[in-house]
Amino acid sequence: MPDFRPITPHIWRLNLEWDFKIPFVPPIPVAVWLVKDGDEWTLIDAGTPLHESAIINAVAHFLKTAAPARVALTHAHYDHGGAMSAIVKRWNIPIWAHTAEADFVTGAQEYRNIVSGSLIFNLAKSMLGQRVWRLPVARALQEGETFGGLEVIHVPGHTPGMAAFHHRADRAIICGDTFMNMGGRLTEPFSMATPEPEEARRSIKKLAALDFDVLLPSHDTSQHGVPAETARQLAARL
């Protein structure tokens, strides 16, 4: 059974795989995070719908009789919000998301309806099925807001309201899909799922300019994060 592994003193990672079951297409690593602040735990992201049992079992095994205080989303794509409904039902906890992402959780907006100047995104969204969530957002997060030892950083581009979470004490940033680390190479997010690539590059530069030591992407084959200097090198090339 997948289990949470320590990454920093206050951050644990559950490493899952999203298998497309397409020949010659390898599974993609998908991370879910637990962040400790005193006696309180924040669950960050919720994998795909296929991960419901794995996430719930791993959280229950790790926290024993405790429960997460909330599930906070980096964004609500299929592979980040998939188990939200099951998690909320299991522990009766609220969903928090950035104010610009909240409508994609409640179903008031859909990613496929985003107006984009990206040809790649526009072609891909017509071919890929997308899950529409219809769940309440209990708290719409704002840039600079703090909770659970984390500071909210708005990093739009991949989605309108994607958020990164900066743990200043641990000098770590949980960055969602602002960066991807696949096959040992740090890159921008997939262009087929990014409606505003230039804005996504500005978000990369924004995070790279912060004071931190380790970057924690959601899709990371290293499973232990990326040095800040590697993130800054990518930002400098953009």
Q: Which domains can be identified in the chain, with CATH numbers?
A: 4-237 (3.60.15.10)
The CA distance from 43 to 31, in Å, is 11
The CA distance from 181 to 188, in Å, is 9
pLDDT score of 63 more than 90? yes
The CA distance from 8 to 206, in Å, is 22
List, in order, residues 6 or more apart from 109 with CB less than 8 Å away: 103
Q: Report pLDDT digits (tens) over 15-59.
A: 999 887 777 778 899 999 999 999 999 999 999 999 999 999 999
Residue 237: what pLDDT? Answer: 97
Residue 233: what pLDDT? Answer: 98
Residue 20: what pLDDT? Answer: 75
Handedness of CA 80, 36, 88, 59 (dihedral sign): positive
Residue 130: what pLDDT? Answer: 67
pLDDT score of 206 more than 90? yes
Residue 125: what pLDDT? Answer: 82
